[in-house]
Structure 1
């Protein structure tokens, strides 16, 4: 049986530069810290999950996912590193332990960032899948590029901490990236255009937009192009970069529709009836629903008509509703003007024909011609 004296002598025996009791203390501290960190992780994850179930916030989901993403090997590595600080180890060994700790932190940061990015994309896809499936595809692709960039940066940092010179690799990647960017600048322009459309949302699926001379309903917002369905039925495909360079008119977001229409009456309209026309126009517009009357004026004198201009607002963006209202106005005006004896104008020209005078010395005129010329008057011809 080993006595206490021999046991103490054994514990004080040096091993790899440290007494066995120091090794035992370091191992105990590492194990205790590992158990404590694991316990803290479990309690924190459970508590955050309960709070998130109660309040259901996006921030709560991100915090829960961040705690869950911490790996067991990371906790073990941190515990062993803290335990090693209680020992007097050679500089080379401490350098290795420091490097391993830094690499563990970098890898854990990459895993946490990857998990959070995946959660954000998953939540966005779940919310937008039914209403805007095209933007889901775009965001998923951008998420992949984001994760790729994250792991690339972490990989370079890991290599640098392992003592590998990454300057040449970074330079090569930079030159290669410039070459790829120059070769695919149109594709990258469309890609960033797609990102701008998804984030800024100048339009979404189902909106009716006008881009220059093209117009149609948005069917798809892709990574490179946006697809429209025109009124005639054909599909119009426009690159995202060209789309954002143009002025986009989004008719779907119209709150109300401003209508301007004009009518003309003949110059033979009596002044009293002419003065009453503005009132008639106001009445017929105000009788419509849902409409807000703005103005009706005798605008001016046209080449063949006395012109009136009417402005009103349809309190809805629905084009069919506007056409129904305008049709009622037109039919009412046609009937009312017929009852009041007011004539609509149409393009006409009045030509006055003057008789040509002849010299008596040039041609002798007969008695019949002379009588006829004395009775001639200017003739008026209406075309």
Structure 2
């Protein structure tokens, strides 16, 4: 009683202008499923007149909560103790919540104040165990602790025996995905069962009631880590695995470039979400944090605009399929002939065939450049070889000889539409000009094969007396008449 009077006196000293005070204004209680607890607070009247009060609150579904007396009067300078009787349900699980209790004050003229007493309730479910061993009564809560531990040890042993059988069953199926799922879930589920058993066992020990919140928080953090790990393994070992498998069947560049990029983005995303969930469990306001990160992201985006442009251009190149790794290409306004080595996040790596150099081209530049791809629509390539002979040559003999030379080369195609063709193109200033068209099935041979055919043309033309002229001009000087 002396303590209550001291509280009332303190209220008068500290809060002389308030109509009333709730002492304390907040409370914390830990309750188990099925238990009943009573907590109280006081309404202190700091005025020189009597006040009336009514109490409003809303109990969560399944909870039996009574606040008494729910209405009444508090005489001037006096106080009224309010009892909050809480009866918890026996639901399975661990949770907590805040219960706001509104105290409305009135005087003869009407409402004069609205005060809130906030009670934080940490709820612990009734401990689960398979059977109850009748330990000595003197053991008290230690008997419950042992029953819970024994239950979860048995369940852990069941999992230890069950998973090897699941692995054998999964291997009997045609698909590989069930094998991967069993392998992924084995250790995380076993770890979670052990963790949950230890946590529920510790929560049966009243001496640890002051740190129940810490035990639950550690449990929730580890659960988030386990879920993050499972998500990572499913993403990496199932989604990425089948994307690689799909890319091999499609013979594209997904396997070499796009899938590794998606894999890295996925890992970063999963890790970030897991980290945010851990922060939320620890009570950090994730919304404020995300807002700050969003502002920083805009700033970084502006600073790294060119880098981001190269990144998305690289994705555009891969999706558009302008070329694949290993293709031979030429770029607009560039005489170089390049082999595509790699499409990276920022740039594309090209190998210049004639100078033996590697060129790094920014993806944004490459995406806006006209590209000649020698490997499209396939690896076959049509080559034109120009040949000139003197005006006295036999045209039919020249055409026949050129076809024979082309067909004699082992790398020249000769079937159907790919048969060599000779065209008498034009009458030149000092020669008859022909064009020999041949097909080869490897673009990398587009320089070697024409060179070998030209060598063969020179040799055969000499043997058959076909002259290859050089440009010449006949100049006729007409004598001038005397006096002209």
2-structure distance, mates of 1:137, 1:315: 27
2-structure distance, mates of 1:66, 1:267: 81
What is the aligned partner in structure 2 of residue 62 from structure 1? 180
What is the aligned partner in structure 2 of residue 314 from structure 1? 440
Equivalent residues of 2:398, 2:466 under 8 A apart = no
Residue 70 of structure 1 aligns to a residue in which SS?
helix
What is the aligned partner in structure 1 of residue 406 from structure 2? 285
1-structure distance, mates of 2:176, 2:357: 41
What is the aligned partner in structure 2 of residue 178 from structure 1? 298
Counterparts of 1:240-279 in structure 2, within 5 Å, are 240-249=363-372, 255-269=379-393, 273-279=394-400
2-structure distance, mates of 1:44, 1:193: 50
Larger relative contact order, structure 1 or 2 (CA cutoff 8 Å, min sep 6): 1
Does 2:212 match 1:111? Answer: no
TM-score normalised by structure 1 residue count:
0.62
What is the aligned partner in structure 2 of residue 27 from structure 1? 128
Residue deviations 1:273-309, cap 9 Å, x none? 1233212211221222132233112112223221111
TM-superposed deviation, 1:166: 3.0
Residue 435 of structure 2 aligns to a residue in which SS?
strand
User: Between Structure 1 and Structure 2, which shows a larger proportion of strand residues?
Assistant: 2
Seen in structure 2, the aligned counterparts of structure 1 residues 246 and 349 have a Cα distance that, compared at 3 Å, is same
Seen in structure 2, the aligned counterparts of structure 1 residues 34 and 194 have a Cα distance that, compared at 3 Å, is farther
Count matched residues: 323
What is the aligned partner in structure 2 of residue 46 from structure 1? 164
Seen in structure 2, the aligned counterparts of structure 1 residues 160 and 286 have a Cα distance that, compared at 3 Å, is same
TM-superposed deviation, 1:184: 1.0
Counterparts of 1:126-141 in structure 2, within 5 Å, are none
Which of 293, 308, 314 is residue 188 of structure 1 equivalent to? 308
Bigger Cα displacement from structure 2, 68-77 vs 32-41 = 32-41
Seen in structure 2, the aligned counterparts of structure 1 residues 309 and 215 have a Cα distance that, compared at 3 Å, is closer
What is the aligned partner in structure 2 of residue 224 from structure 1? 346
Equivalent residues of 1:226, 1:239 under 8 A apart = yes
Bigger Cα displacement from structure 2, 178-187 vs 334-343 = 334-343
2-structure distance, mates of 1:33, 1:197: 58
TM-superposed deviation, 1:310: 1.0
Counterparts of 1:61-100 in structure 2, within 5 Å, are 62-72=180-190, 74-75=192-193
TM-superposed deviation, 1:327: 4.7
1-structure distance, mates of 2:461, 2:229: 78
What is the aligned partner in structure 1 of residue 471 from structure 2? 347
Does 2:404 match 1:303? Answer: no
2-structure distance, mates of 1:185, 1:26: 56
What is the aligned partner in structure 1 of residue 358 from structure 2? 235
2-structure distance, mates of 1:57, 1:196: 33
Residue deviations 1:155-197, cap 9 Å, x none? 4345557765433222221111111111112223334455667
Equivalent residues of 1:251, 1:317 under 8 A apart = yes
What is the aligned partner in structure 2 of residue 93 from structure 1? none
Seen in structure 2, the aligned counterparts of structure 1 residues 172 and 18 have a Cα distance that, compared at 3 Å, is closer
Equivalent residues of 2:153, 2:194 under 8 A apart = no
Equivalent residues of 2:423, 2:435 under 8 A apart = yes
1-structure distance, mates of 2:289, 2:478: 96
Equivalent residues of 1:197, 1:203 under 8 A apart = no
What is the aligned partner in structure 1 of residue 144 from structure 2? none
TM-superposed deviation, 1:112: 0.8
TM-superposed deviation, 1:64: 2.9
Residue 129 of structure 2 aligns to a residue in which SS?
helix
Equivalent residues of 1:299, 1:308 under 8 A apart = yes
Residue 343 of structure 1 aligns to a residue in which SS?
coil
CA-based RMSD of the aligned residues comes to 5.1
Residue deviations 1:309-344, cap 9 Å, x none? 111112334428x62x44553344334433444322
Equivalent residues of 1:265, 1:344 under 8 A apart = yes
TM-score normalised by structure 2 residue count:
0.51
Seen in structure 2, the aligned counterparts of structure 1 residues 43 and 346 have a Cα distance that, compared at 3 Å, is farther
Equivalent residues of 2:156, 2:194 under 8 A apart = no
What is the aligned partner in structure 1 of residue 10 from structure 2? none
TM-superposed deviation, 1:357: 5.0
